Every structure is written in C-alpha cells, then in structure tokens.
Structure 1
C-alpha cells in the first residue's frame, strides 16, 4: 500500500476520544454527545456486566458522569464503541509506543486507528500524500486472516515511533507544575491531585 499515516487533530474540548472515534468511523468530528448517549445506554442496560467494581463507581452514577461533556473517556468507552460499530479500535500510545486493541474478541473484519499523547486522542488515517486534504483519508482498514491490517500496521507503528522520538506526548506521571500564586511545586498528575495548595 502506498501512502502516509497522518494525524488528524481533534479539538481539545474534553470529548476528543468520542470525536476522534466519530471521525474514523463516520468522518464526523461532532459525534461526542451521540456517542456518550450510546455508552450510557449500553452501561445502563447491563448493570451486572458494568458493575461498580468494573466502572469504579455505581452504574447509575457512571451513566450520569459519562454524559457530562467535561468528562474524559478511556478504555471502557473504547471497548463499548468498538462493539457498537462492529470494528476493532487500535489506540496507539505515543509515550510507550504500545497499541491497545479494543473489540478483538468480536472477530470483526475491520479496524480503525487512534493516537493518544497522554492527555488527548486524535484520529489516524492513511493519505496518498502527507499534505492531502481529509477528503482523501482512508480511516477503515480490512483485517486480514493473520488479524493484522497488513502494511498499514507497520506504517502506523513507524509513525508512532517518530512521534515518540519527537516527544509529542505528555508524561503525566513525571511532568512538573508550580502554582503561580503560592509557588508550591508538584510532580505528575497524582502530585497535582494530592497537593495541599496553600493558596
């Protein structure tokens, strides 16, 4: 296959996962509200599977939480959306260069790809040339008998490794923050959450 893997930037509005999925599945970056509804309905319909132990909060509380446009999505939501669309979702992590695959137990025949930088999801697409407009993007790929998507998989991984070399990720465990008011410094997101800010 000739072409380039390109990163299609999704707005940073706390709904990037949903809008990135909307782009690769439907070529629509405005699907967040609809996909949040899909997830809430799926979770509410099966409280045994989606228990408090699984969700980290009671089922009804999670359903209200995921409908809030300020809340982020992650692995649970990607797994549900893979099954909703009947396609695997490959989520590439720039920092670790790891690919987490969602929906593989469904034995689906197609796959889409996302990229994650530690805080934000964008869409990945194949383009005939690096600067081609989005109209030329291919976002859905046939899965072969060996459960790969052929040469696209290697091109995508090389792209992720290049993004890693360029440090296009946020190390949420080790970044440093300093309060502009009280000057207290902390390390990582856990430090930010647990710090006793004096201001």
Structure 2
C-alpha cells in the first residue's frame, strides 16, 4: 500500500525523533576521548537520514506529477493551470480572496469546475512549512543560553582582575593556543627550560611549541602522570604532541611545572589555581615575582563543547 504525503511526512518526523534520541544517548555515553568520534558519527547519521528522506520525497513528488499529467490529459471544463504560474495564482488567491471557511483541501469545487489538486497540495505544504517555522522559533526562544550564563558569571572576575577575553578558535588546540597567548601577555618565552632546543626549530605555530613542551615534561616525569592514564604514557604523550587531542587538567599541571608559572582558570563564577608542584604549600618571601597565566574555560556554547579562551591584562589587550 502506497503512502500518502501526510503518512510519509509523519514517518519522517518519527524517524527524526528516533534519531535525536539515539544521538542524545550516544553523546551522554561519550567520554572526552571518544567525543569527537561520536560527534562525527552522529553528523553522518543525520546526513544519511536527511539524504534518504529527501530522496523519498523526490520519488513521491515525481509519482504525483505523473498522476497529475494523466489527469490533465482528460477533458475538463477548464484547462488546468501549469506548474509555472501556480505560485502566482496561489499568492493572488491569498491576497484578494476572503479567508476560506475550510482548509483548501476540504473546499468543494464550483459546479462544472475541475478540482485543482496540485494547487491544494502546494497550499498544504506552505501551511506545514509555516507551522514548522513557528515551532522552531518557539523552541529557540525557550532554550537556555548556557554560554551567556557562564560568561555573565565570569565577568565580575574579569573586571576585578583587570582582564579582557581574547577569542581562540575552537579547533581542538584551544587550551594550548590560549596558554601560548597568556605566555606572550606575561612576557614569558615559549621555550621553557625543559625545551630549550625549540629555539633551534624552524618557525612553528606557538600552540605546537606548547604541546611539545607539555608532552616532553610528562615523559620526563612519568611517575606523576602514568597513574592517571588508561593507555601507555608514551602513546598518550605522542597524541598530545602531534595531534589535536584535547588538553585538560594533566596538561595544565605539566605546563605549570614546565614553565614555572601559576595558571588561573576562570570558570562559571570561580577561579581554579594550578601552581608548580614545588610550590603547593606556597612560597613566602620569594624574591622573584611569580608569573601568572590566565585562561577562561567554558563547558557550553561552542561547537566542540568544552573550550578555553585566553585572558589578557587590559593594558596589553589589542
């Protein structure tokens, strides 16, 4: 039994709801390491469903056009309208005629006048599109602005510490790019004492230098990091050094120690402080002024989810 347009559209909506449920469950079960792969898989599932449904609609409309062509070959009191002038006729009817008491699909044709089924289908589709747009607008108006909420709670900390935010691309390197920007703002060289040979390397992006520094420190202090990993330290360090693997708490700790700096991460209304391991208890009376790198951390509001932005002192912001 062939589906009507309403049945086809109802099935498509159900398939879309089912896919949303599957994607939601997949993303809830994703870990930090698998999140990118899960996002790619979900995008592919959405793409395949969209293409299949579009193809089914094209086939359905093609069959309807064949049936319409057969109907138009029959003698009628009035010649049917062509596809080219249907849109203008529909617009004219909507503007100049009084509102119908019943939907177009339910109106009875005038005696002696052939019913224009294609015109009725176009009217139904236009109404469905308008209704879908209204539902989408209503849903968008009720969605929580997570990123805006996080930013609002961070702004008092930015203001009290004379900081201004600098946007970093959400490309998987954001922690390392933000940290490199913070080093530059604090006038700290990218080449740490543990990676002095970087000065002899060809010109590279700053985040790559920061990645290599973090990986080298973790390898040279394996006892401090291996216990937190689910894979061999060497393999993990290779990914941190050579890929777009996300950085987190372990990398922040490695960078604080490698560069001898205090890292302050502003997140959702509070500030987390990471200090070099030798300064956990605090060093009072130090003659050397401690350098600080500030970062802003977001859980929501970016395409990849979690994200770091750089924070600069206002006097050095550009």
Fold shared per TM-score above 0.5: yes
Note if 1:43 corresponds to 2:218.
yes
Match of 2:78 in 1: none
Match of 1:127 in 2: 314
Deviation digits for residues 58-96 of structure 1, max 9, x if unmatched? 2112112212432110111111111122110001113xx
> Which structure's relative contact order is higher, taking Cα pairs within 8 Å and 6+ residues apart?
1
Which structure has greater helix proportion? 2
Deviation digits for residues 136-179 of structure 1, max 9, x if unmatched? 339xxxxxxxxxxxxxxxxxxxxxxxxxxxxxxxxxxxxxxxxx
Question: Which of 278, 293, 296 is 1:115 aligned to?
Answer: 296
Using the TM superposition, give the Cα deviation of residue 48 of structure 1 relative to its aligned residue in structure 2, in angstroms. Answer: 2.2
Note if 1:13 corresponds to 2:168.
no
Q: How does 1:49-68 map to 2 (within 5 A)?
A: 49-51=224-226, 53-68=227-242
Q: How does 1:50-199 map to 2 (within 5 A)?
A: 50-51=225-226, 53-94=227-268, 97-103=269-275, 105=277, 106=279, 107=283, 109-118=290-299, 119-128=306-315, 136-137=316-317
Q: How does 1:27-38 map to 2 (within 5 A)?
A: 27=185, 30-38=205-213
Compute the TM-score of the two structures, normalised by the length of structure 2: 0.36
Give distance in 2, aligned partners of 1:76 and 1:4: 28
Taking a change above 3 Å as real, the CA distance of residues 81 and 2 of structure 1, as seen in their structure-2 partners, is closer
Match of 1:185 in 2: none
Deviation digits for residues 30-59 of structure 1, max 9, x if unmatched? 4211111112211222322222x2233221
Consecutive unaligned residues in structure 2, runs of 5 or more? 1-158, 191-204, 284-288, 300-305
Taking a change above 3 Å as real, the CA distance of residues 56 and 98 of structure 1, as seen in their structure-2 partners, is farther
- The answer to whether the Cα contact below 8 Å between 2:253 and 2:276 also exists between their aligned partners in 1 is no
- The answer to whether the Cα contact below 8 Å between 1:18 and 1:32 also exists between their aligned partners in 2 is yes
Moved over 4 A (4+): 1-4
Using the TM superposition, give the Cα deviation of residue 3 of structure 1 relative to its aligned residue in structure 2, in angstroms. Answer: 8.4
Which structure has greater strand proportion? 1
- The answer to whether the Cα contact below 8 Å between 2:225 and 2:250 also exists between their aligned partners in 1 is no
Deviation digits for residues 116-138 of structure 1, max 9, x if unmatched? 1111101112215xxxxxxx339
Compute the TM-score of the two structures, normalised by the length of structure 1: 0.56
- The answer to whether the Cα contact below 8 Å between 2:257 and 2:276 also exists between their aligned partners in 1 is no
